[in-house]
Amino acid sequence: MLVTMSGVRLSYGRWPALDKIDMEITRGEFLVISGASGAGKTTLLRLIWMGDKPDSGFVEVGGFRSDRIRRRELPQLRRKIGIVFQDFRLLHTRTVFDNVALPLQVSGTRNRTVQKRVISLLARMGLSHRRNSFPHELSGGEQQRVAIARAMVAHPVLLLADEPTGNLDPEVSREVVELLLEINRGGTTVVMATHDPRQVPAGKGRFLFLDRGVLRGADRWTELDQDS
Amino acid sequence: MDRTGSGLMSFIRSAVREITLNLHFRPGARLITLLMVALAFVVFNTFLIISWNLQSIMDREENLVGMEVFLQRDISPGEGRVVGDLISSLPGIKSVYYVSPQEAEALFRAELPGRTDLLDVMGSDFRLPASLQIAFETEAMSQERMSELSRTIGAIEGVKDAVYGENYLPGLIKTVITIRRLVILLGIVLVSSISLVVFYTVRLSVVRRSLTVNIMRTVGAPWWFIRVPFVVEGVFMGMTGSACGLALTAVLSEVLSGAVTHRFMPLSWMTLVILLGAVTGTVGALAGSYEKER
């Protein structure tokens, strides 16, 4: 099991953002977590990369448990996880190359290895010609591809995508989802949070639904498909 | 990950690169931060110059405070010096200077040139008494202590009289103590204020880059990799800001030197000012990065 959440509860102030979360994510799966805005999708992802700690219960990711992990161990955990955000979160003062290279540089990877990996990944992502561009010179789709490249460059075991298509038009959104599915086919576990699970083709992953902080295990995709 | 010896070098190289990138980030905003820090230091430096000059004045006044011990007429120069040695061994005595009758006469003639006729009236055999000029340590300069020393010295064999400024000394001592206390109080207030100004200014410039800190966190950067560039920036901003403040104050001091006679602060104080800038800048940067790193 790559991720285990047991009896997780997290409140912001008086209101629980997440409650009674029991969930497991196996290696290599593609998990779609859907729910309305404010349902707790982002919070759930934050708990997985241990940006927050649960008030009760625990989260275990790749052998690191939220209730036992030390502060200095957090970087080790985070190097096993790639994260993609809705707003891309690229550093605007750095080129595409430098943005993608960042996770390798912070882990002390040799310069030659960094060059090799980043150049190869940018080529696979169709971004070679954008290597020296700055984020503001790119389209939304390109920026998200750079963000995905940055998340993948250190070969993480788990990729978290928080509304990765939220700022993109439908055509580009399809491309991004296809890219995530391709990454998953390559063996990386992918957890995608989205308010619109229709973006992921049926049968391509496991679907979970978050309703006001509570996880509904039902195959929401089927319900949504029937509704539509 | 490649974490061999050369991997460590890559790590350090990346950290140095982060520092350089950080220092090149938004030069306009950095300039404003620098200006804020420099202006805060101009106020502080002005206070330091005033204090330094005030201190010199007070030291000069204090050095004027002393006691004149007149020796008996029949005492030889050798005996006079023995009395002087005895007095200098008393606690609170800074220095004792023996003034011979000839020197006393020369001093009289030099200081009171219009009254030399008084000496002439006394005849050619007249000699002014030998005396001892005594200077005190600062801690001995209180009315009670001076009075006590006067009595002790007056009781020494060979001493005729011990005279000090009984009338103006209490007032002078009180004024000096009050001024010193005020300067210290104001100094504490200003050091606290300037520390807060630099702290918040640098912290703000770090917090402005919360996105960088957040991204660093999510990609697994160790804490030192995140903080070191900000700490270096804090040291740089604090030191440069305080140095610019010193330069501005020096210009101001030069401009005003014609109107108000004063001395610029000593080198040791200038070093402390730059150190204060570096420390407060570092603390501000650390606080800002820590706040965003949590």
For residues A55 and A213, is the Cβ–Cβ distance under 8 A?
no
Higher pLDDT, A75 or B211: A75
B195 plus B284 within the same structural domain:
yes
The ipTM value here is: 0.82
Q: Which chain B residues have any C-beta within 8 angstroms of a chain A C-beta?
A: 1-4, 6-8, 10-11, 13-14, 17, 21, 24-25, 211-212, 214-223, 225
Dump strand ranges (E) for chain B.
66-71, 93-99, 131-136, 159-164
Tell me the two tokens of residue B264: 């610029």
Using the Cα atoms of residue A89, residue A94, residue A95 and residue A99 in order, give the sign of their dihedral.
Answer: negative
Alpha-carbon distance of B45 to B61, in angstroms, equals: 24
Give me the pLDDT at residue B271, please.
95
For residues A57 and A7, is the Cβ–Cβ distance under 8 A?
yes
Alpha-carbon distance of A58 to A68, in angstroms, equals: 9
B251 plus B216 within the same structural domain:
yes
Give me the pLDDT at residue B3, please.
46
3-class SS at B5? helix
In chain B, what are the helix, strand and coil shares in percent, each to the nearest 5?
Answer: 70, 10, 20
Tell me the two tokens of residue B269: 């104080």
Give me the pLDDT at residue B196, please.
86
Using the Cα atoms of residue B75, residue B80, residue B86 and residue B87 in order, give the sign of their dihedral.
Answer: positive
Report the percentage of chain B scoring pLDDT > 90: 25
Sheet holding B159-164, edge to edge: B93-99, B131-136, B66-71, B159-164
Give me the pLDDT at residue A143, please.
95
Question: If pLDDT is split at 50, 70 and 90, which confidence band does B1 have?
Answer: very low
Q: How near does any CA of chain B get to the CA of A110, in Å?
A: 5
Write out pLDDT tens, residues B72-127.
Answer: 888 888 898 899 999 999 988 888 999 988 888 888 888 888 888 888 888 777 88
B197 plus B282 within the same structural domain:
yes
> Is the pLDDT confidence value at B5 over 60?
no
Contact B10 A77 (CB under 8 A): no
B213 plus B126 within the same structural domain:
no
> Is the pLDDT confidence value at B4 over 70?
no
The answer to whether A159 faces chain B, any CB pair under 8 Å, is no
B143 plus B199 within the same structural domain:
no
Domain boundary residue, one of B134, B164, B194:
B164
What is residue B222's DSSP assignment? -
- Whether B100 is covered by a domain: the verdict is yes
B131 plus B149 within the same structural domain:
yes
- Whether B5 is covered by a domain: the verdict is no
Give me the pLDDT at residue B293, please.
57
Question: If pLDDT is split at 50, 70 and 90, which confidence band does B294 have?
Answer: low
Alpha-carbon distance of B288 to B205, in angstroms, equals: 8
Give me the pLDDT at residue B234, please.
85
Higher pLDDT, A157 or B172: A157
Give me the pLDDT at residue A95, please.
93
Give me the pLDDT at residue B260, please.
86
B288 plus B208 within the same structural domain:
yes
Give me the pLDDT at residue A228, please.
43
**Weakly modelled stretches of chain A, pLDDT under 50:** 218-222, 225-228
> Containing H/E element for A114?
helix A111-124
Comparing C-alpha atoms, which of B177, B151, B163 is closest to residue B90?
B151
**B chain contacts of residue A89, beta-carbon cutoff 8 Å:** 211, 214-215, 218
Domain boundary residue, one of B132, B164, B196:
B164
- Whether B202 is covered by a domain: the verdict is yes
**A chain contacts of residue B21, beta-carbon cutoff 8 Å:** 93-94
B215 plus B248 within the same structural domain:
yes
Alpha-carbon distance of B124 to B127, in angstroms, equals: 8
3-class SS at A153? coil
Number of domains into which chain B is organized: 2
**B chain contacts of residue A150, beta-carbon cutoff 8 Å:** 219
Give me the pLDDT at residue B287, please.
83
Q: What DSSP line would sit under B167-206, residue for residue?
A: TTHHHHHHHHHHHHHHHHHHHHHHHHHHHHHHHHHHHHHH
Give me the pLDDT at residue B149, please.
86
- Whether B179 is covered by a domain: the verdict is no
Residue type, A59: V
With 0-12 / 13-18 / 19 or more C-beta atoms within 10 angstroms meaning exposed / middle / buried, residue A170 is exposed
B53 plus B127 within the same structural domain:
no
CATH architecture of the region A3-69+81-198+216-227: 3-Layer(aba) Sandwich (3.40)
What CATH number corresponds to the domain at position B98? 3.30.70.3040
Write out pLDDT tens, residues B223-266.
Answer: 888 888 888 888 888 999 999 999 999 999 999 988 888 889 99
Residue type, B156: I
- What residue numbers bound the domain in which B79 lies? 66-164
Write out pLDDT tens, residues B132-151.
Answer: 998 888 777 777 888 888 88
B35 plus B19 within the same structural domain:
yes
Q: Give CA separation, B10 vs A47, A112, B6, B99, in Å.
A: 31, 10, 6, 76
- Whether B176 is covered by a domain: the verdict is no
Q: Give CA separation, B115 vs B104, B118, B121, in Å.
A: 14, 6, 11
